[in-house]
Structure 1
Amino acid sequence: MFRRLRWRSLAVATATLAAALLTFGAPSGAEAAVPATIPLKFTNNSGRSGPVYIYNLGTLLTTGQQGWADANGTFHAWPAGGNPPTPAPDASIAGPASGQSVTIRLPKFSGRVYFSYGQKLDFRLTTGGLVQPAVQNPSDPNRNILFNWSEYTLNDAGLWLNSTQVDMFSAPYAVGVQLADGTVKTTGHLKAGGYNAVINGLRGQSGGWANLLQTRSDGTVLRALAPGHAVGSGVLSGTVMDDYINRVWARYSSATLTVTPFVDQPNTKYFGRVSGNVMNFTNSSGAVVTSFQKPDADSIFGCHKLLDAPNDLVRGPISRTLCAGFNRSTLLVNANQPDTGSANFYKDSVTNHYARLIHAQMADGKAYAFAFDDVGAHESLVHDGNPQQAYITLDPLS
């Protein structure tokens, strides 16, 4: 019924953070230091009546300790849990009514800002840590609550704040950051009517994609599960990507897939060829550097298991490139990967239709619809090395 907290996108956040540090660099001594906390302005433009609850949960970067922060940004460590799991302390912060805002403070965390409509979330503690909602489980106590979350890292190098659909598409919101010059960067807003367009698009998509939708007994659509969770819980067939996988495997049995994983290192290339059930990658010297078993849908949608991406400089970067190519169905139209322009994305009839529909309805086209959606910078992320204020804005479910 419960699972120990695992910040699902921590690997993504770490990879993004590392890439951002390479791009932007750490702040120099001449720049203003990032303070211990920064303000987060939380605005409710949902149009919904009833209370909103906010939670700021995460891991202290200095100690690795898990806990929660109150509205002032003060850290509170979780107490010991139990087996069976015991109720966690009430970490909720009263959110704003529709049309209003509240400001809380973010500490130097790697964590999540949850929000829920109408009802508080049910968090529990095991002997191993916090249990997060897992709504793919019919017995999860949060399954019938409308909620969502944003993910962030705040440290001495700045703020990374993203909207995410890696686990589910639900109550829409946008994120933002104010720079020192007063300008604000924002991402995550849907187009007008975009929420319903994604829901209706899944309903109309053949192949079992409508089964991603979860509704309450009153008929309210609460969310669409990400396809990896849908495959794992048996509501989407594990063979849904097989036709495309087989065509990719056949193609690169007689052709070479070239992966250039680093934008700033165009001469670092790896060359993939299929032999039987394995795709072997060689470097420019012809030495095999890593190999991948023929993946399945679960591995593709989750960018894990047979497409595991360790935090190294070879297998991980190749794997994330393959993962993006499979999810976006670009591997057959471009033998040079990553394909970073969006013109070829999701054109095959066999693709990640969840990601396709979400990206099509984002106002700026950007989303975190799968774990390595940041390949080619298509993720919904804001970053600044000297953040003055962060923003989360709740949008209408329409």
Structure 2
Amino acid sequence: MLRLLGRRVLTAGTAIAAVIAGSLLTAGTAAPAHAAVPDTIPLKITNNSGRGDQVYIYNLGTQLSTGRQGWADASGTFHPWPAGGNPPTPAPDASITGPAAGRSTTIRVPKFSGRIYFSYGQKLVFKLTTGGLVQPAVQNPSDPNRNILFNWSEYTLNDAGLWLNSTQVDMFSAPYSVGVRRADGSTTSTGRLKPGGYNAVLNTLRGQSGGWGNLVQTRSDGTVLRALSPLYGLETGALPASVMDDYINRVWRKYSGSTLTVTPFTDQPGVKYYGRVSGDVMNFTNASGAVVTSFQKPDASSVFGCHRRLDAPNDQVRGPISRTLCAGFNRSTLLTNPNQPDSGSGGFYQDSVTNHYARAVHAQMADGKAYAFAFDDVGNHESLVHDGNPSEASLTLDSFN
């Protein structure tokens, strides 16, 4: 069960380049060029975790100027990966020693699209195959990182600025928040849990019937490591394959006799698509009545992963419609609102059949924002900071309490 860094393109995995592409699809605009962005910017990492474990930091991804995969050291210098093998071969040690509890350290990040990993107490194991870097895949019991407490953030730094987010698309684990300092000295941040929020998310899942508590993974010593996303819950058998069937069936019945209207671009309110179900297919037409795309009736994997039957190519029709459908299914708003996407979050996760993982995560975020599924940015409910001329980025390892 190998996962290669950089493979996600508008699917269930997590790569910030796709996040940016998704945001641009929603907005219908392109990010402006900003030549003032330097080749590297400082990233201040603060350890407020309260843990005594040694912290290790990794900056892994794709160099934007060359398209090569590799890693960056603490100075922001890029190092391409050597050739991998089959079976996979060990990757060079790309770890950076992180700050002790109560301390901060600053590294520099280059123009890159990738991930900032951090682990507690033990270095992560990375390997290289002929297709590139193999990411940790902790839904696999034999993955060498399965019993390590770790997490990651995603970012892109380019000539248009910085995009930096916290993510729970694959798992909810060691808490952290991200931020950016603008050129004028002002700051913004996101991703911080409410006091007690870490345990509250885990306890919400444990208390939810239907297998949701099975998403929580612990180490043999009792340490809670993470809660898997529901997509991986399906893959591991923690959740039943039928977990979303009742809601999906109700949506299909509703739109067999009525119309679902999708307005995918916030800056183009006149662009609308109209969905009606015929048998196992939902057909979308444009204003002239021509069918522009069709979706087979999805299953839970398609919903939680925003892929397969809800695939979202990076185009201007199917992708934006699919993103909106995926968000409506995960948030369980398609029955209560036939005009998608929703204008606010008040009606999210109210059905008894919903993405209870995303519900739990969002409920415990201080600002309500999170990336709890792939297209959680529909309607701007994602935990993302962006600035066109950043002077500094920040990553704060937050308290588990």
Structure 2: any 5+ residue segments left out of the alignment?
none
Amino acid at match of 1:198: V
Counterpart secondary structure, 1:144: coil
8 Å CA contact 1:228–1:301 kept in 2: the answer is: yes
- Say which of 21, 24, 38 aligns to 1:18: 24
Shift of 1:22: 5.8
The share of aligned pairs that are identical, in percent, is: 76
- Say which of 54, 65, 69 aligns to 2:68: 65
8 Å CA contact 2:26–2:378 kept in 1: the answer is: no
TM (norm. structure 1) is 0.97
The answer to whether residue 196 in structure 2 is matched with residue 197 in structure 1 is no
Which aligned pairs between 1:177-192 and structure 2 lie closer than 5 A? 177-192=180-195
**Rounded Cα–Cα distance in structure 2 between residues aligned with 1:23 and 1:293:** 29
Counterpart secondary structure, 1:116: strand
Shift of 1:235: 1.4
Shift of 1:327: 0.1
Amino acid at match of 2:343: T
- Say which of 2, 9, 14 aligns to 2:14: 9
Distance 1:21 1:344, change over 3 A: closer
Structure 1 residues 47-75: Cα deviation after superposition (integer angstroms, max 9, x where no partner): 00020000000001122100000000000
- Say which of 139, 162, 165 aligns to 1:159: 162
Partner of 1:85: 88
The answer to whether residue 51 in structure 2 is matched with residue 48 in structure 1 is yes
**Rounded Cα–Cα distance in structure 1 between residues aligned with 2:136 and 2:90:** 13
Counterpart secondary structure, 1:388: strand
Distance 1:226 1:2, change over 3 A: same
**Rounded Cα–Cα distance in structure 2 between residues aligned with 1:127 and 1:88:** 12
Distance 1:21 1:293, change over 3 A: closer
**Rounded Cα–Cα distance in structure 2 between residues aligned with 1:350 and 1:274:** 21
Shift of 1:128: 1.0
- Say which of 266, 270, 290 aligns to 1:267: 270
**Rounded Cα–Cα distance in structure 1 between residues aligned with 2:213 and 2:36:** 48
Amino acid at match of 1:252: Y
Partner of 1:37: 40
Structure 1 residues 81-129: Cα deviation after superposition (integer angstroms, max 9, x where no partner): 1111111000000000000000001100110000000000000001111
Shift of 1:21: 8.4
**Rounded Cα–Cα distance in structure 2 between residues aligned with 1:16 and 1:272:** 21
**Rounded Cα–Cα distance in structure 2 between residues aligned with 1:335 and 1:140:** 43
Structure 1 residues 16-49: Cα deviation after superposition (integer angstroms, max 9, x where no partner): 4635986684146xxx610000000000000000
**Rounded Cα–Cα distance in structure 1 between residues aligned with 2:357 and 2:379:** 19
TM (norm. structure 2) is 0.96
Structure 1: any 5+ residue segments left out of the alignment?
none
How many residues align structurally?
395
**Rounded Cα–Cα distance in structure 1 between residues aligned with 2:167 and 2:4:** 20
Pairwise CA RMSD: 1.4
Which aligned pairs between 1:1-398 and structure 2 lie closer than 5 A? 1-5=1-5, 6-7=7-8, 8-10=13-15, 12-16=18-22, 18=24, 25-27=31-33, 33-398=36-401
Amino acid at match of 1:4: L
